[in-house]
Structures are given as C-alpha cells and as structure tokens.
Amino acid sequence: MGGSSAVQTATAPVAGLGGSKYYQVPAQAIRGYSVSASNTTPTFLTGGAGGASGAGGGVVIVAARYIFSTATASNAKFSAVGTPGLAGGGGGVIIVISTAAALPSGISTDVSGGTGASAGTFYYLQLV
C-alpha cells in the first residue's frame, strides 16, 4: 500500500490475503496485519519502499471516535512521507478511522514520495 521508490517496488496485499481493499475495512485496518487460512503467520502492513538514498514513509493508523480541529490548528497534519534525495523513498500509509463523515477541514494528510518515488495511500474510514 505504500509507494514504490525508483529502485524498489511496494506490493499490496495479494488476493489470498484480501487483496488491495483488505485495509479498507475498519476492523481489519486497525489490526495492521493480515492472516489467511493458508498463511497463519501475520503479514504486517508496511509503508513505502526504500530508495537508493532515502527511507520509505511509515505507517500511521489513527482510530478515534471524534477528531476535530480548532481555528488555530490550521497546520494539523498526519504525515507518512518518503525521504527526499536522489532515488528517495516511496510515500507511506495513513489510515484514519472515525465516526465523522470526513476528516475535518483543518487537518491534512501527506503520503508523498521522495524524489523519483510514488505517493503512498491514505484511507479515511467512517465507522458508524
């Protein structure tokens, strides 16, 4: 789910582990790993792939009933960026789970990749 770098590829969960939509189900996303009947060893969610000279972005999972921002919190941000530099790291993964319909406008996210790398993944999951 993390972004690929110029030299490494980040791979999404395979079909046997629920495929690319596995972590779009709140109860599964909060665990941060997947298991299957054929592979009972946990496969952990990973961030972006590392580059030749840069690390990939990490994994951020936030589960909160209420998420809010005030007028003075305009710079509030969840971030899992890949490091810059020649052949930087791929962007990471951010999963936010809350009861609200959307992430408040005063809070932003960043899963951008470093130089020559792709962005990672951001999911906002509403749990009602």
pLDDT tens figures, 39-61: 778 878 888 888 887 888 999 99
Domain that holds residue 89: 15-126
In a domain, 62, yes or no: yes
Question: Domain for residue 1, yes or no?
Answer: no
Torsion sign (Cα): 107, 30, 14, 48: positive
Hey, what are 118's tokens? 């792709």
Residue 74 has pLDDT above 70, yes or no: no
Distance CA 3, CA 73 (A): 28
According to the model, what pLDDT value does residue 46 have? 84
The verdict on residue 10 lying in a domain is no
Asked if residue 88 belongs to a domain, the reply is yes
- Mean pLDDT value across residues 55-75: 83
Q: Is residue 8 part of a domain?
A: no
Q: What pTM does this model have?
A: 0.86
Among 63, 11, 56, 57, CA closest to 34: 11
Domain count, the chain: 1
Exposure string of 11-30, with b = 16+ CB inside 10 Å and e = fewer, is eebeeeebeeebbeebebbe
Residue 7 belongs to some domain of the structure: no
pLDDT tens track for 88-111:
889 999 999 999 999 988 889 999
